[in-house]
Amino acid sequence: MKKIAYWGGMIVLGIALGLGSARMMLGLGQLDGGYSVGPWKTGTDFGSASAGMYTRARVALYGLLALDKKETLYYTAQTDDSGAPLSGNCTYVVEGKDLAARWWSVTAYGPDSFLIPNEANIYSFAKTTVKREADGHYIVRVSAERQQGNWLPVKAGESFDMTARFYNPDQSVQAAPGSAKLPHIVKESCK
């Protein structure tokens, strides 16, 4: 009876450690072939046969229909340029120039990894929808409070992350994803 209890306990402990470590790795966002550009992070194995088990699990949980890096590169930011977590209690200025791709978008996602419901029905800005400054660069304000110009609504009191998608990325970005030019995310104010 002691042997059965001992081995039963070991099996339960093994399962608990395995599930706990998998949950931790998915929560940390570890990516196969990972690169960082300021607060933006990407992996190059999304949608490919060479993706490791954690990347495949992340895509299954959070990245519906991920495409191969030749078709799309996905960069996600969970922090601003200073490294502070993105919060719906703050207003951020996202500023940059066109991403090196045939088409691009920048989208905010809630803590559940889905679009953030809002009355304005604004969920992202893209190459064809963002209003630009006279010199061609764009400024998007991300905030729970309505903003002038390009405004990307988030929910007060909730964390969020942002995803920049490079659709048909330039060869230079495909060859060196860590050298891509991505927008800055600067905290403007907080409540």
CATH of the domain at 50: 2.60.120.600
Q: Which structural domain range is residue 24 located in?
A: 1-30
Indicate if 3 and 38 belong to the same structural domain: no
Coil vs helix vs strand at 2: helix
Instruction: Tell me the per-residue pLDDT of 64-75, one tens digit each, with 9 for 90 and over.
Output: 556 555 678 889
Question: How many domains would you assign to the chain?
Answer: 2
Q: Report how far residue 15's alpha carbon sits from residue 48's, in angstroms, rounded to the nearest whole number.
A: 28
Q: In what order do the strands lie in the sheet with 138-143?
A: 150-153, 138-143, 90-96, 184-190
Indicate if 71 and 54 belong to the same structural domain: yes
Indicate if 59 and 10 belong to the same structural domain: no
Indicate if 17 and 65 belong to the same structural domain: no
pLDDT tens for the chain, 191 residues: list them: 887 877 666 676 666 555 555 454 444 444 445 889 999 998 765 554 555 556 556 555 555 556 555 678 889 999 999 999 999 999 999 999 999 999 999 999 999 989 999 999 999 999 999 999 999 999 999 999 999 999 999 999 999 999 999 999 999 998 999 999 999 999 999 98
